[in-house]
Structure 1
């Protein structure tokens, strides 16, 4: 007996397939859009809290005073396992201490000046990094989207053998969608190296955690820390016994004396206030793609060695180079502007790709008015939702529910678009009429 699905079943399956494709396209569009805006992450932080104290540098003794003041304010709270000190750099000339329960700015003398209030910037970062999904799940989804971007770039290149010859050919507006396809193809060519780099590094960053868990389970008996140690160096063995706070000032003075060419960006106190504590200094190396090198110190500020991100195994250096290459944190403002422009082009490529796909389906007699309307809601609703959350930041303050506002507004925009949508006249391809 031959089982043949009914025509209605086939139609429903095709509709479901199209909806899944639209969902993947929407998530990729959101990642590209948020990444474009996130290029100016430090600038957004400064704009959010323009009255925070700024300085070109801060003395090691002032940093030590700040650490002691912050830790004193945490008495009675759960113990902080990691204390992070952001040190002033050209892109963000502020000193900020972050613990497991608070984040505060210091003034140049090391006094606690005010709480850190960059809720919108962190909302934007989380949107791009995890799509606001729980940690590992969100990073995995975004990593898969990075692989999808890489696959789309390569398959698009192979599917259009004349793509480089026609790199600057733009045909006139056409009812069949030729004009839209040309803009899609041209932008894809112009941004090809960027798209490949962003897709590859995004996949590596997003899927890195999953890979670590798999490698740990297969080769390290489930010890995730041991896998990370091969790249970023080992952490000291924990000892919860109480101890005086570490001498961060001594470690910073050592960096000034022995590594004057390195721009110190972060100091991390592991298990501060315990006998197992140690200090880790992150330093940015000029004219290198690595995000920095880790310099390790004991609690007394004695140097213990570096992790090897700057001069270790080639795999370590490659792993440490993903972040700057992905986020454009090198070369100053000109590189950021270039990344923003290329990111905008990639966002347009994502948007037009789905319109082209819907247009082809319509020309084959498969009309998808609701899907087209939903896509219109995504394309215009997402940037509008970002603007609404930014307005909420300055109208309602740092504690505004940015995530709820964003996804509620976007869902509403899609719903309104679908409800108002009507089947387009045959042969009409909405976006082409706008060119």
Structure 2
């Protein structure tokens, strides 16, 4: 590589890193507790019972939730992937901001309510919002996505520069017999190349995750409308079917899959005359991919089932890679160790930039004094 090319890559690496490093550091710091969100979450204290999950009446749970919050409605139902519980949010309207939801949690085996803290408050909620959107909604998410793109550029340019800057050193050498800055430079280069694959995957999947809102809008504007147009509701029906009947029919229509989310008519993820049910598979991979189904809200019959489009599937597949939550606690610990190493890389990069500038100023002062 020519000297001019090296200088160009140095310029790209320096400025892409400087612009995004503070935000990347924030994402690493907030992401660390989110890796262990299941372990740090509330203790559910589920009662021992021989009843199977899903045995209790969901209609009864909804009735109890609405009775506890007069004047509010239930827009969604959320099943937990790992525990036999159902989260029933209530809100002022079917289109209310999810941040305003009040959640009530029920044991799906017995129908008993479980007292747990609200998921939209507390330490993990603050960490999640800072990590996802800086409490700024979609603009904050897209801004972090742009910072993620700059981070990918910084990683690529760092890989390009690794060879020219370390060609005279054996791999893994950290020189401690010279200046402090040189020691930090060696440590920065070593940890940077060791965490390269992990940091690249996490950064790239993080950028993909920031596209969740546009992906949702694209699905609503295209596939949801198409599914609804091909699944006309029963004419002359004004009643609403039991949600227990809806769930029973969808489990029959799509066997071997688990219901994860139910969106009621009037919400952005359903239609005025259909209930939308989102299901997942039972394997580590298929458990991350949603399959939507529409049921006629008046008779409770499933009228349309299809796979999500490829761009939505890519989004779902990127999420477990980002948080490392598909391989149990051992993989989470590995993810956390890489996260800590990456924090050191980011901090050392800031130190190297800051340590270099005063030296230049001091050299200039010395030159002026000599003249």
Query: Which category of TM-score, normalised to the shorter sequence, fits these structures?
Result: 0.7 to 0.9
1:52 and 1:114 in contact (8 A); partners too: no
* d(CA) in 2 for partners of 1:227, 1:275: 17
Distance 1:117 1:173, change over 3 A: farther
1:233, 1:294 → 2: CA distance?
16
Distance 1:65 1:257, change over 3 A: same
Shift of 1:356: 1.1
**Aligned equivalents of 1:182 and 1:297: distance in 2?**
57
Give the aligned partner of residue 83 of structure 1: 76
- Whether 1:178 aligns to 2:182 is yes
Task: Please list, as runs of the form range in 1=range in 2, the aligned pairs for 1:114-193 lying within 5 A after superposition.
Answer: 114=115, 116-118=117-119, 119-120=121-122, 121-132=124-135, 134-161=136-163, 166-172=170-176, 174-193=178-197
8 Å CA contact 2:152–2:200 kept in 1: the answer is: yes
1:184-263 superposed matches below 5 A: 184-209=188-213, 225-226=217-218, 228-230=220-222, 236=228, 245-254=240-249, 256-257=251-252, 259=254, 261-263=256-258
> Structure 1 185/289 Cα, relative in aligned 2: closer, same or farther at 3 Å?
farther
Q: Is the 8 A contact 1:85 1:95 kept in 2?
A: yes
- The root-mean-square deviation of aligned C-alpha atoms, in Å, is 3.8
- Which of 262, 265, 268 is residue 267 of structure 1 equivalent to? 262
**Partners of 1:231 and 1:366 in 2: how far apart?**
63
Q: Retained in 2: the 8 A contact 1:31–1:128?
A: yes
1:96 aligns with 2:87: yes
Aligned to 1:292: 289
**SS state at 2:185 partner:** helix
Task: Give the superposition deviation at 1:144.
Answer: 1.4
**1:279-307: per-residue Cα shift (whole Å, max 9, x none)?**
31331441427722233131244223334
Report how many aligned residue pairs link the two structures. Answer: 327
CA distance in 2, matches of 1:286, 1:157: 35
Residue 36 (str. 1) matches residue 40 (str. 2): no
Partner of 1:59: 54
Q: Normalised by the size of structure 2, how large is the TM-score?
A: 0.74
5+ residue gaps, structure 1: 1-17, 213-223, 368-435
Q: Does the aligned pair in 2 maintain the 1:243–1:274 contact within 8 Å? A: no
Structure 1 position 303 matched with structure 2 position 306:
no
Q: SS of 2:293's equivalent?
A: strand
Partner residue of 1:392? Answer: none
Q: 1:412 corresponds to which residue?
A: none
Cα distance change on mapping 1:25 and 1:230 into 2, 3 Å: same
| 1:278 counterpart = 2:275 | yes
- Give the match for residue 110 of structure 2: 109
Q: How big is the shift at 1:260?
A: 5.0
The gaps in structure 2 that reach 5 residues or longer are 1-13, 92-100, 364-371
